[in-house]
Amino acid sequence: MSPLFINFVYVISAAMFIFGLKMLSSPATARRGNLLSALGMFIAIVVTLLAAGIDYKWIFLGMVIGSAIGVVVATRVEMTSMPEMVALFNGFGGISSLLLAWGEYHQNPQMSVFIAIVAFLSAFIGGITFTGSMVAFGKLSGKISQQAVVFKGQHIMNAAILATALLAALVFCLTPGTGFGYTVFILIVLVALGFGVTSTIPIGGADMPVVISLLNSYSGLAACAAGFVISNNILIVAGALVGAAGMILTNIMCKAMNRSLANVLFSGFGTVTAAGAASDGPQGEVRPATAEDVYYILEAADSVAFVPGYGLAVAQAQHVVKELGDLLEKNDTEVSYAIHPVAGRMPGHMNVLLAEANVPYDQLVEMDDINPRMDTVDVCVVIGANDVVNPAALDDESSPIYGMPIIETHRAGTVIVLKRSMNPGFAGIQNALFFAENARMYFGDAKDSIQALVAEFKSV
């Protein structure tokens, strides 16, 4: 198989990646885009294996085992666990790049300086991605504390680890073909694995959407560097696309929180600060509502905007929300779903959740589009969201989330907030919205509460 033909197929695969990535930007085409990109990678893998002329039965066996595990996990994972699954995917991508660079170096230790540099990058970034993703998985799944773990001198320690890695990289790149160089490479791997833990553990649960996006970018950069190590053009292109897309998404997420990436990584946000603690207690009178009360409010509304949050995923209430939305539309009510960029625990969590319930894509409205017309919305129904609708972000300079763009539900005619209790959200601060004059608290499990409303509509 000629190199010209191989590179031609790689160009086709790269084009499929790009078009697939473009299609992922819309819920209406995301599924087709995912399939198109997967097909492009499958074609690239087949051509690469055929061109190598190797005995790939072990590779085929690995693909079969991996695919079987993937199918079982993907079909059994609940929507609440989807962020953890994405974190695992990022981690496995990172460790794959690390092992690929290590394997290539083990077989061909006489590397040029350039190949030694990209081997270092692949191993170092891959190691950080793996252990960082495992920490993110632990925080999201509740296996370790979701709070930011901070201690005195932490930044100095991380800076020392990074300096050690860079010094080791310099030594390795100058002496890759020696026994000492191999020892230094092992040190780089160990430092990378440790740095993944120490750089992720200080980040609180409230920032996990940004962390997942960033780790996704890291996995792409590690794969891109690994492509240079083994001189594989399609791996370079695929890794660069993932790295760039992840970094762009990370930037979008940071803007949605009105924070810099450095602030997310180094501030230890996610714990209740002294400033934020002052707003933890009751800030007024709560006005509870029954299912019958909420029914009469919704029945009289001309426009209703649902604002989903992580609580919607926990309750698995997306299908009954869609059913309620259909009943409202039959009642000549305009229905929309307001989506905050960081709602949930990973980028696009709410979009995927609502798509699973077949909510029409044109009813999904971004934060920047819903806020200018929020004054015209009769009723906002907040389901499991907390920090992304907290007015303290707009007017309380002492709040840890001050300056963060929110969905301004408090400007609607009436706000119905569905929550199990008055417990604060991921940021660990109380929500002033709960005490607003136009807010009614509808306590209970979100799914049961919505089902009660559906029953009210169907009983008339």
**How far apart, in whole angstroms, are the C-alpha atoms of residue 365 and residue 327?**
20
**How far apart, in whole angstroms, are the C-alpha atoms of residue 6 and residue 8?**
5
Rounded to a whole number of angstroms, the CA Rg of the chain reads 25
Four-point Cα dihedral 444, 450, 453, 459, nearest 10: -120
**How far apart, in whole angstroms, are the C-alpha atoms of residue 313 and residue 295?**
23
User: Of the candidates 253, 277, 238, 296, which has an alpha carbon nearest to the alpha carbon of residue 416?
Assistant: 296
Contact 378, 299 (CB under 8 A): no
User: Of the candidates 127, 108, 450, which has an alpha carbon nearest to the alpha carbon of residue 291?
Assistant: 450
Are β-strands 414-419 and 439-443 bridged in parallel, bridged antiparallel, or unpaired?
parallel
**List 387, 396, 445, 448, catalytic entry:** 387
Cα–Cα separations (whole angstroms), residue 24 to 20, 37, 241: 6, 10, 13
**How far apart, in whole angstroms, are the C-alpha atoms of residue 92 and residue 34?**
19
Q: What amino acid is encoded at 440 in this protein?
A: R
Q: Is 375 a catalytic residue?
A: no
Cα–Cα separations (whole angstroms), residue 153 to 123, 146, 148: 27, 21, 15
Helix ranges (H only) for 257-317 are 261-266, 274-277, 291-299, 310-315
What's the DSSP call for residue 288?
Answer: B
Evaluated on CA atoms 362, 370, 381, 379, the torsion sign reads negative
User: 335 - beta bridge partners?
Assistant: 304
Evaluated on CA atoms 16, 21, 25, 30, the torsion sign reads positive
**How far apart, in whole angstroms, are the C-alpha atoms of residue 377 and residue 305?**
7
Known catalytic residues are: 387
